[in-house]
């Protein structure tokens, strides 16, 4: 039998992800077009879930800002962007950005960065990590994160969808570590997660290999976050 806490945690994940996916699908927000509204609705749902299911506020899942984790995230994000630019130059690829790229980037930060990390790191991993060691909590939280990415097989070509699924599995661990680096706050993983998603969604290129190269570079750089130790709390 499952414990009451496990049932509540599972119910919370279903509610939060249904809010994210349902509103994004209804609004057609595939590249963050309505990211601010999606994020606002998910945050409201998270507030309700925290209060009604757990008797806690949003602060318990890491919404405060902590500078050390953010600094590491900015460095990693800069390295990912630099790797993408370097590859494009070496490959001689023609590169441009989608129209309204600045607005879309903000939407991706809200929709893919903040909301997904609020759900999967702040809420799911954060609660698991209260009673489990890092690797076990990260492993358990990886499965729901990977499961929701199975929907990519509906919208993407099979090879790219498979690569994206494998990326989501492998990223679960460095994103959880970034959550710990930020003293259990969502902002560091949110920044890195948003940058990783922004490349394939905002860059228009004639190089078919660019999305895959971007994923490989992003994964390698994200894993380098383990070179920085998390502070013990």
pLDDT of amino acid 38: 97
Residue 149, Cβ neighbours under 10 Å: how many? 17
* Helices 187-202, 210-223: inter-axial angle, 10-degree rounding: 170
66-to-39, 108, 172, 181 alpha-carbon distances in Å: 20, 21, 20, 9
Residue 203, SS3 per DSSP:
strand
Instruction: Indicate yes or no: pTM above 0.85.
Output: yes
Whether residue 9 contacts residue 119, with contact meaning beta carbons closer than 8 Å, is answered with no
- Please give the full DSSP string across 126-164, using - where no structure is assigned: HHHTTTS-HHHHHHHHHHHHHHHGGGHHHHS-HHHHHHH
Per-residue pLDDT of the chain (233 residues; tens, 9 = 90+): 678 889 999 999 999 999 999 999 999 998 999 999 999 999 999 999 999 999 999 999 999 988 999 999 999 999 999 999 999 999 999 999 999 999 999 999 999 999 999 999 999 999 999 999 999 999 999 998 888 777 766 666 777 778 778 888 999 999 999 999 999 999 999 999 999 999 989 999 999 899 889 999 999 999 999 999 887 65
Backbone angles phi, psi at 183, to 5 degrees: 55, 55
């Amino acid at each position: 039998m499952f414990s009451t806490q496990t049932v509540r945690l599972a119910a919370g994940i279903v509610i939060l992800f249904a809010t994210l996916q349902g509103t994004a699908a209804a609004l057609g927000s595939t590249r963050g077009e309505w990211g601010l509204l999606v994020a606002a609705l998910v945050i409201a749902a998270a507030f309700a879930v925290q209060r009604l299911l757990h008797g806690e506020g949003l602060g318990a899942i890491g919404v405060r800002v902590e500078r050390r984790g953010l600094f590491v995230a900015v460095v990693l994000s800069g390295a990912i962007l630099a790797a993408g630019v370097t590859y494009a130059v070496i490959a001689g690829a023609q590169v441009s950005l989608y129209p309204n790229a600045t607005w879309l980037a903000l939407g991706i930060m809200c929709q893919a960065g903040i909301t997904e990390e609020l759900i999967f790191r702040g809420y799911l991993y954060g609660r698991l990590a209260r009673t489990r060691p890092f690797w076990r909590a990260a492993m358990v939280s990886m499965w729901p994160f990977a499961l929701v990415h199975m929907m990519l097989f509906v919208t993407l070509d099979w090879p790219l969808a498979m690569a994206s699924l494998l990326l989501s599995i492998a990223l679960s661990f460095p994103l959880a570590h970034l959550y710990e680096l930020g003293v259990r706050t969502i902002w560091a993983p949110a920044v890195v997660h948003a940058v990783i998603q922004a490349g394939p969604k905002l860059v228009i290129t004639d190089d078919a290999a660019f999305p895959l190269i971007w994923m490989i570079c992003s994964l390698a750089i994200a894993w380098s976050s383990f070179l920085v130790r998390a502070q013990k709390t």
